[in-house]
Structure 1
């Protein structure tokens, strides 16, 4: 990864045009061929970016201003960076990333749900946890009471990204004739309304999990019986 802090302007040239005036910015050139332009706010969201594959050409105009042109390898769209001053320029090799590790609660949810798989419905049986696919492991793969394959994606808080992730798994799993048809279940302690709407629209079931109940802990609220 190459990190550059520079005073620059940025012009996007493609289906639309956009201009960022001269200002100090962070430029990220990643090993996957992506390029993004960041300010010192907006959290993680870049001001402008280009997905891979990209190529970068460094040149200069007639007055000596550095011009860095980022060109997308397929669409031909461009980011044109005019560099007034480079304050920092370094390259770092990060290597392969091990991927996101689930936090303790999420990992424990997976373990508990696998142990009590009938929480999802009568007749459910476990195939395995962390079922491997080419794009990452499915949290739980199981069969319902009718024998159909079910892929379960687990989250502490279920949002749209989780539904999108499960959708990608289902698309891949349904190509395997030994598993298809594969249904999806999105399970979480809390599911956001937008995620529930998207899941329902895509034929994915939603299950709200009670962590304490899965652990066998009685609720604090008093009961008559």
Structure 2
């Protein structure tokens, strides 16, 4: 038994073969998947909103923009939608290229529907995880922007020098008292909605906080 997909995730199905596209869409809808079908990559790009969660079930060999071309185009436009390739003609080099570029799987036609369903469920899970991580990073960046200039300077020092995060070390580096550092540290943790310097460092990795404009020169 296959569990129904979570949330409002959609299977975006692209195949230029009307018979295969219709058959697959019907079979997936019977399994409670939301499906949107397209006859070409170009049609998909015209309609696709990358804010919509889901995955792409993509025929490799299509006229015009083929599967690998679409995969490359999406990557270049910062769309990380998981892709499952399906093909009746591609060989090993094409499948290897697709997988190296991040495809969830490369299925050769004919394939079992249960195999495709398992791939879709895995793709949905990967999409949810990626979107959750992206939202967490966005929240961290927004919270970071709430810090004062001095708080940003202290936070960035702790991120850049994780082995020197004591108040004495930070105070010595910034020429301020450890007590003042303690006050700023408490405000940093509160505004960032975290409980430790270790969490701040973890957030910096996903949210690239060190890329935020440095403002230490004007700190007060």
For the criterion TM > 0.5, the same-fold answer is no
Q: TM-score, normalised by structure 2?
A: 0.32
Q: TM-score, normalised by structure 1?
A: 0.31
Relative contact order higher in (CA < 8 Å, ≥ 6 apart): 2
